[in-house]
């Protein structure tokens, strides 16, 4: 069977007078867009523009809910209960669905952002809060989360489809979690190295951790961050490398 994988990117993170990343360029290389919903980044106009851009490029759209932390870009851990995670995610999914629906586009998935994502990956009760929000939002949305993490258990408990995700430009710990951004080397800035790692993840089911050990994973989607200086080159090289290896790029709805 031919290999398929989704390429996703966190987009629509502009708000007010601030612009982050080159969404138009990144959008040409991905199959799914995770759109910031206004809590960690983004605003209603940015969300709507990103939806319109996705439609123009034939890219699927998902909600990208995060902590209410504009100052920290949603990358600071916050003390939240499962009920708060549920309510925050449901609220942001609803906003995203309304804007996408206004342009005739159905949401494909939900992927928590930043610190909320990492907290859910390690804490089953928080992951269940996110998964139940995905379920109760309706529409057969797919929950996207870190491969081999609590997200998968939470999706099974909430009875929602799950997509395992891996990261092109992030270093891994031996336990399969991401290296914290506070540590040197946590972000991979060499597009060629990122491309090599992604091809190995998809074709061999393994990634090399920071200590040199091998971590097994079978990602259905690869995250290409849109807010780094090398984002566009990363996206271009990774897509080209995957296709050269015989991998088909497709949105999640064709994979999960």
pTM: 0.95
How many residues does the structure list for the chain? 256
The pLDDT value recorded for residue 227 is: 72
- For the chain, the average pLDDT equals 95
Q: How confident is the model at residue 181 (pLDDT cuts 50, 70, 90)?
A: confident
Give the percent of the chain with pLDDT over 70.
Answer: 99
- What count of other Cβ atoms lies within 10 Å of the Cβ of residue 54? 24
pLDDT in tens, 59-100: 999 999 999 999 999 999 999 999 999 999 999 999 999 999
Structural domains in the chain?
A: 4-254 (3.20.20.370)
pLDDT in tens, 16-29: 888 888 999 999 99
Lowest mean pLDDT among 23-27, 107-111, 180-184, 241-245: 180-184
The pLDDT value recorded for residue 225 is: 80
Residue 81 C-alpha from the chain's centroid: 22
The pLDDT value recorded for residue 230 is: 81
Lowest mean pLDDT among 92-101, 134-143, 187-196, 228-237: 228-237
* pLDDT of 1 strictly over 70: no
pLDDT in tens, 116-159: 999 999 999 999 999 999 999 998 999 999 999 999 999 999 99
Q: What is the mean pLDDT of residues 213-221?
A: 96
DSSP the chain: ---EEEEEEEE---BTTB--S-HHHHHTT-SEEEEE-SSSS--HHHHHHHHHHHHHHT-EEEEE---S-TTTTT-S-----HHHHHHHHHHHHHHHHHHHHHTT----EE---HHHHHHHHH-HHHHHHHHHHHHHH-S-PEEEEETTSHHHHHHHHHT--EEEEEESSB-B-TTSSBPPTTSTTSB---HHHHHHHHHHHHHHSEEE-TTS-EEE---SEEE--SSSTTHHHHHHHHHHHHHHTTPEE--GGGT-
């Amino acid at each position: 069977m031919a290999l398929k994988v989704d390429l996703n990117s966190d987009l629509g993170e502009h708000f007010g007078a601030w612009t982050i990343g080159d969404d138009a360029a990144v959008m040409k290389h991905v199959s799914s867009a995770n759109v910031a919903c206004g809590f960690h980044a983004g605003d209603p106009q940015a969300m709507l523009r990103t939806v319109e851009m996705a439609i123009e490029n034939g890219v699927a759209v998902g909600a990208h809910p995060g902590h209410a932390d504009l100052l920290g870009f949603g990358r600071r851990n916050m003390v939240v209960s499962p009920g708060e995670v549920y309510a925050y995610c449901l609220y942001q999914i609803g906003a995203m669905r309304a804007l996408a629906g206004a342009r005739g586009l159905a949401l494909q998935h939900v992927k928590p952002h930043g610190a909320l994502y990492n907290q859910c990956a390690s804490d089953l009760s928080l992951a269940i809060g996110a998964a139940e929000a995905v379920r109760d939002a309706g529409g057969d949305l797919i929950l996207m989360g870190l491969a081999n993490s609590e997200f998968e258990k939470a999706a099974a408990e909430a009875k929602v489809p799950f997509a395992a995700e891996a990261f092109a430009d992030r270093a891994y710990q031996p336990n399969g979690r991401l290296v914290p951004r506070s540590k040197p080397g946590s972000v991979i800035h060499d597009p060629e190295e990122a491309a090599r790692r992604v091809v190995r993840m998809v074709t061999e089911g393994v990634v090399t951790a920071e200590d040199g050990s091998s971590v097994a994973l079978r990602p259905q989607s690869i995250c290409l961050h849109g807010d780094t200086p090398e984002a566009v080159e990363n996206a271009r090289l990774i897509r080209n490398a995957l296709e050269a290896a015989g991998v088909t790029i497709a949105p999640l709805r064709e994979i999960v």
